[in-house]
Amino acid sequence: MGEPLLARVIPLLDHRQFAERQQAHSHAQSLPTGEVRDRLQRPLRDLRISVTDRCNFRCAYCMPKAVFGSDHRYLPHSSLLSFEEITRVARQFVALGVRKIRLTGGEPLLRKNLEELLVLLAELRTSDGNAIDLTMTTNGSLLARKARALKAAGLNRVTVSLDALDDHVFKRMNDVDFPVAKVLEGIEAAQAAGITNIKVNMVVKRCVNDQQILPMARFFQGTGVALRFIEFMDVGSTNGWNMDAVLPSEEVVRTLSKHMPLMRLLASAAGETAQRWGYVGSDGQHAPALGEIGVISSVTQAFCGDCNRARLSTEGRLFTCLFAGQGVDLRRILRNMTTRDDEQLASAIASVWQGRSDRYSQQRSCVAERSSMPKPEMSYIGG
C-alpha cells in the first residue's frame, strides 16, 4: 500500500470556535438578517457550492493524474452534504445578502440527480422577492445529455471550462483523451435548451495552450458565448504552479487586439472577476452582435478589493477565500442541531463573514512564508 494522499488535509475551525470569534467581533448579530459585511466592508453576494469532489478529467492545473490517480480515495457519500442540507445552508446565505449561487465541483454533473438540487435552490428568494441567479461551472463532458433537464430545473446560466480547440492540445490538458467535439456538442445543446447566458473559461498556461488564444476567440466571436481567459493560478498545492507558466492577461489582450480590435467595457456587476472587452465594429464602437471576451487576472491584477464570494466545500466547510488555509465546519452544526431552528447556523455564517479580511491575491508577493501552508484544492472547493 502506498503513502496516504494528503491533498485534502485542511485546517478547520469547529463549532466551539464560533463563540470565540463572535466575542472577538462585537458587531456580529445574534439574529442576523439582511446584508452582512466583512472587515473591509465587502458585502456577501456570491455563494459557490462544490457538490462533488469527483471529476472525470485530470487537468494538470486542477487534478493532476500523478496525485489524483486511479487509487485516489474520494469522499464517501455520507460525508457529502445532502441536497436538503445544501438548500438549508443556502437559504441562510440568501438571507444574509447572497444573490448568486454557482454549483461547482469537481465536475458537478457527476453528482447523481443534480437536477433535484437545482429545483430546490430555484425556489429561494431574496428579501425583496427576487429569484436567485442560479448558475453552474462544468467541463461540458455530460452537458449534451443533461442540458434540457438542467434548464427545466431552473438553471439560468452555465460556464463551460474549455482550454483549447485543437484536439491534441485539449486531450493533453484534460489528460483522459476526451475529445473537444463532445464539449462543443454540450455548448450547442445548452443553447438549444434555451440557456442563453453561456460563458467559456480558458485557463491559459504559457507554452502549453497559449497558441490557442486566437483560434478560441475567432471560434466564439458572434456565437453569443462569452469567452474568458484565466491566468494560471496558484490554487491548492498539487498543480505545480510557478510564475513562469503564467501568461499575464495584458499579453492576451495585446495578442487579440492585433487581429480583432477590442474596446474596454464597463463591469456588469460589482465584484465581477473578469475585465470585459468588446469586439469593435466597422463604426469603431462595440458591436454587441460580435460579443465580447474577458480576462481574469487574479495573479497579475488582483481584484480582492471588492470580492464578495464565499465558498462551501463538498462536505460543508465554509471558505472565505479561494486561497484560504482553513475552513469552518458548517456540516457539524447542521447535523448536531436538535431543532429546525436555523439561528445557530445563520449566526455562524454571519460571524465568519464579519470577521473576514482575506486579500490573498493582493498580498501574494508579501506572503511567501505562507507557501507551505495547506490550501484547498480546486477540485475540493470549486472554482
Q: Which is nearest to 239 in space by CA: 323, 120, 178, 182?
A: 323
Average pLDDT over residues 68-94: 94
When pLDDT is cut at 50, 70 and 90, the band that residue 28 belongs to is very low
pLDDT at 146 over 80: yes
The pLDDT score that the predictor gives to residue 19 is 40
pLDDT at 259 over 60: yes
Contact 307, 295 (CB under 8 A): no
CA distance 114 to 117: 5
211-251, pLDDT tens digit by residue? Answer: 999 999 999 999 999 999 999 876 555 555 577 888 999 99
The pLDDT score that the predictor gives to residue 138 is 98
The pLDDT score that the predictor gives to residue 110 is 97
Q: Burial level of 113, CB count in 10 A (0-12/13-18/19+)?
A: exposed
Q: Burial level of 174, CB count in 10 A (0-12/13-18/19+)?
A: buried
When pLDDT is cut at 50, 70 and 90, the band that residue 99 belongs to is very high
The answer to which of 128-137, 156-165, 353-362 has the lowest mean pLDDT is 353-362
Average pLDDT, the chain: 85
Residue in the structure block whose three cell numbers are 486579500: 359
314-365, pLDDT tens digit by residue? Answer: 999 999 987 777 789 999 999 987 666 788 899 999 999 999 987 665 555 4
C-alpha distances (whole Å) from 98 to each of 268, 285, 299 are 17, 35, 26
The pLDDT score that the predictor gives to residue 18 is 41
The pLDDT score that the predictor gives to residue 3 is 41
When pLDDT is cut at 50, 70 and 90, the band that residue 285 belongs to is very high
Average pLDDT over residues 174-194: 97
Q: What percent of the chain has pLDDT over 70?
A: 81
The pLDDT score that the predictor gives to residue 27 is 37
The pLDDT score that the predictor gives to residue 8 is 43
83 is written with which cell numbers? 441536497
**pLDDT: which is higher, 305 or 25:** 305
CA distance 261 to 284: 9
Sign of the four-CA dihedral 275, 58, 85, 134: positive
Domains of the chain with bracketed CATH: 12-381 (3.20.20.70)
The pLDDT score that the predictor gives to residue 245 is 84
CA distance 213 to 229: 8
**pLDDT: which is higher, 101 or 327:** 101
Using the 8-state DSSP alphabet, how is residue 76 labeled?
Answer: P
CA distance 326 to 312: 12
Q: Which is nearest to 160 in space by CA: 179, 181, 143?
A: 143
Q: Which secondary-structure segment (H or E) carries 100?
A: strand 100-104
pLDDT at 103 over 50: yes
The pLDDT score that the predictor gives to residue 269 is 76
Cα–chain-centroid distance for residue 369? 26
Residue in the structure block whose three cell numbers are 498539487: 238
